[in-house]
Structure 1
Amino acid sequence: MFKGGLYCKRNAYRLCRHKSSFATALAAASRLVTPKIMLSNPVSLVSNEMNTLAKNIMALIGSGHPTLNRVTSYYFEAEGKKVRPLLVLLLSRALAAIPLNQRDHVKVDSEDVPEDPVYSKPPHMLLFEQPVRNFSPLHVLHGIKPLNPLTKGPEPLPQATFDQERGILPKQRRLAEIVEMIHTASLLHDDVIDHSDTRRGRPSGNIAFTNKMAVLGGDFLLGRATVSISRLRNPEVVELMSNSIANLVEGEFMQLKNTAVDGDPTTIQFGKKELPPLSGKLDNKVHEYHVPVKYEANITHDQMIETAFEYYLHKSYLKTAALISKSSRAAAILSGARENVIDQCYEFGKNLGICFQLVDDMLDFTVAGKDLGKPAGADLKLGIATAPVLYAWKEDPSLGPLIRRNFSQPGDVERAAGAVAKYDSVSKTRSLAQDYRDKALSNLRAALPESDARSALEFLTNSILTRRK
């Protein structure tokens, strides 16, 4: 642990023990409406679905090559947090508490498949449709006549996976599996990009196999995920979930080349490598949904900090919150909920996702690697300025050059870590995370009626601030 780590650990411990009056009141209220078992384990409400999650995913990702199967299943073997599918399943149960006569906003596009009998059914019947097995012939999808059971294609979910009491629709269950596939693919890619050695307490995919196999395994998972997305037969959900993959990539690029602090658009790798000159043959403009960056020489320190924070939060959304927010919105769409509920579910996922990333960035300063399940202090060593560093930079302008050169010189990492401790930046980051937590709780209450599932979501949302891995 770098210098200042001990201070940060003690400080974080004190912060974990401290709860605001709002959080205390919320915890007390939760106990009044939450079954006792759920207070310690929100998974209990969706235990059937979570227990079979990995098994169902294996049916979706099987290939004809045993080594590829080994790579793609590697991270599913470990006991990960599985927060993203858990959120989708709990949200799906909470949405089921909305009466069917208030869920009349089924998103389908019958214009695309006018002769398909599925779309001739009443809207409410469409909610209970299973994901289809496949559209194209299997010999076309796999490129070979069946040689072994893996070429059959995934089995549809058993009809028993939906019952009126639990309320999780077959397509919502498949959505939870898709979300975990996309997330796991991003982990395989991230560990290669970040040169990670460990993940979930054991060798990372790139170490256990090779960089090339880890990248290809992640690509294969994304390919299988997009196939499963298409089989949900909902155009908006297909668009949302496919775009969440693009969001992940764009967020990584924002991290690799931080244009908020690096005003040179002609170089990458911390200024060490020049980009090829533009040919002028194509006009590939940046779309309007991006963070405006100020390159003026006379920009004030406060303006620079404001821009850096805006950039950081947008990057955090794309890298972490986009998949959570879009899958939350997709779960609401598949439930047939009305537009205001769909919008609130999206905002819930967005605010929760940013809160999750803020806490993740705090843990990089406060928790040892053996507890995290991955290397601690990795962000600074990778040249990444997260919220704790930005708060320290606000107080100490001399950190600016270190951030611009991505902590690449000897002593930069230690100096930045010391500044984080000196200016109590971890507690400031925690306060920002609490703001996003509170917004997420408000979104839940605006979107969903009272239920055990909503209480579980509230409990889970609060618990993010006290997680240790």
Structure 2
Amino acid sequence: MTPATSLFSPVEADLQILADNLKQLVGNGHPILCAAAEHLFGAGGKRIRPAIVLLISRATMLEQDITPRHRRLAEITEMIHTASLVHDDVVDESEMRRGVPTVHSLFGNRIAILAGDFLFAQSSWYLANLDNLDVVKLLSEVIMDLASGEIQQGLNRFDTNISIDTYLKKTYYKTASLIANSSKAAGLLSNVSQETADHLYSYGRHLGLAFQIVDDILDFTSSTDTLGKPAGSDLKSGNLTAPVLFALEEKPYLEALIDREFAQKGDLEQAISLIHDSQGIQRSRELAEHHAKVAVEHLAHLPSSESWQTLMKIADYVLSRLY
């Protein structure tokens, strides 16, 4: 499997600048927020979202260097993503993220919620300072989508009647919206045509869906060490993902276990076993492969370049995490 860090070699220097800037942008003047920022941005995430923004920026600015506004958009994208993770971890009561303690487990729920709010507010301020109304609208919509997705997920806990379409809609809100809208925004900052901007949005949308479906598969197929959180944690909390929804079509008893919210000893382990014994994981793989393939098709409208080739490879990388 290609490590994400080596995959991003065309924007390696850009990502280093981003990492240095993020701590300065977030931590200034707030000792606790500074500590939280150091913790968050030093936790070694893959930085896939800002890397995509930077790659699209370079792929659409072939004749000249990317602008400070492109760089700031990448930073805003990572800030919004990180804010959503801080809030998610509070809601999910997660103690670990990327193998390190979560903000709320170190600083408490109150500081974690305020830190997430502060990151959202600060990203909005930097967004406004880009002085591009279309880009402001795109990224503001992302922040609304993140909240909508979290609410939808909360309302649908342990609901065995939700459809794959409902799951994909929630997945768009929680994961794909940020990648889709920031991809389009990067194109707009490069003054691409509306048609190209729409293709960039679709690339991000389908890549984001594939990415999250793969994550949802890994929740059942990876170890706790690999995930940085307990395996099966989504199912335990009542978040029914693609492997579960597909498995429910084959395994009626799985519904009974979920309906009683794994109240009896061994329920969760039995549910996971039923999912592994079904076509749920394989069908989810096929769904992820479909969205990755569609994502790549939307890149055909860009001229060939090193950054363009890397954007193509990211779709393969997303799928390669399964193997």
Short-chain TM bin: over 0.9
- CA separation in 2, counterparts of 1:452 and 1:224? 33
Which residue identity lines up with residue 241 of structure 1 in the other structure? L
Identity in percent: 43
Are 1:74 and 2:31 counterparts? Answer: no
Task: Confirm or deny that 1:242 pairs with 2:97.
Answer: no
Q: Secondary structure at the match of 2:299?
A: helix
Shift of 1:67: 1.7
Q: Is the counterpart of residue 227 in structure 1 residue 125 in structure 2? A: yes
Contact residue 251 and residue 318 of structure 1 kept, 8 A: yes
Residue 448 of structure 1 pairs with residue 302 of structure 2? yes
Residue type at the aligned position of 2:172: Y
What amino acid is aligned across from residue 467 of structure 1 in structure 2? R
Q: Which residue of 2 aligns with 1:344?
A: 199
**Which residues in structure 2 correspond to 1:325-336 (within 5 Å)?**
325-336=180-191
Over aligned residue pairs, what C-alpha RMSD do you find?
2.3
Query: Residue 435 of structure 1: CA displacement?
Result: 0.2
Partner of 1:308: 163
CA 1:93–1:38 in structure 2 vs 1: closer, same or farther (change >3 Å)? Answer: farther
Pairs within 5 Å for 1:39-54: 41-54=6-19
Could you say which residue in structure 1 is the equivalent of 2:21? Answer: 56
**Distance verdict in 2 for CA 1:426–1:74, change over 3 Å:** same
Equivalent residue for 2:109?
A: 211
Deviation at 1:468, TM superposition (A): 6.3
Q: Which amino acid aligns with 1:334?
A: L
CA-to-partner distance for each residue in 1:259-315, whole Å, 9 max, x for gaps? 8947xxxxxxxxxxxxxxxxxxxxxxxxxxxxxxxxxxxxxxxxx5xx511100000
Contact 2:172–2:209 under 8 Å retained in 1: yes
Q: Aligned equivalents of 1:404 and 1:229: distance in 2?
A: 43
Structure ranking higher in helix proportion: 2
Q: Whole-Å Cα distance in 2 between the matches of residues 336 and 260 of structure 1?
A: 45
Amino acid at match of 1:75: L
The 8 Å contact of residues 196 and 375 in structure 1, kept in 2 or not, is answered as no
- Which entry has the higher C-alpha Rg, 1 or 2? 1
* Structure with larger RCO (C-alpha < 8 A, sep 6+): 1
Q: CA deviation at 1:200?
A: 1.8
In structure 1, runs of 5+ residues without a counterpart are: 1-15, 17-36, 100-163, 263-303
Task: Give the Cα separation in 2 of the matches to 1:39 and 1:369.
Answer: 20
C-alpha displacement at 1:316, in angstroms?
Answer: 0.4
* Alpha-carbon contact 1:39-1:459 (below 8 Å) kept: no
Give distance in 2, aligned partners of 1:260 and 1:214: 26
CA contact (8 A) 1:185 1:221 kept: yes
Post-superposition Cα deviations, 1:231-278, rounded to whole Å, max 9, x if no partner, equal 00011111110110110111011111118947xxxxxxxxxxxxxxxx
Map 1:104-143 to 2 at 5 A: none
* Aligned counterpart, 2:177: 322
Aligned twin of 1:421:
276
C-alpha deviations, 1:377-399, integer Å up to 9, x for none? 11111111110011111112343
Q: Is the 8 A contact 1:383 1:408 kept in 2?
A: no
Which residue matches 1:399? Answer: 254
- Per the alignment, residue 218 of structure 2 pairs with 363
User: Corresponding residue for 1:383?
Assistant: 238
Q: What amino acid is the match of 2:303? A: P
Q: Give the counterpart letter for 2:101 in structure 1.
A: P
Q: CA deviation at 1:338?
A: 0.5
CA 428–355 in structure 1, closer or farther in 2 if over 3 Å, else same: same
Contact 1:354 1:433 in 2 (8 A): yes
In 1: Cα distance, 2:37 partner to 2:260 partner: 36
Three-state SS of the structure 1 residue aligned to 2:309 is helix
> Where do 5+ consecutive residues of structure 2 fail to align?
none
Contact 1:392-1:420 within 8 A present in 2 as well: yes
The reply to whether residue 188 of structure 1 matches residue 86 of structure 2 is yes
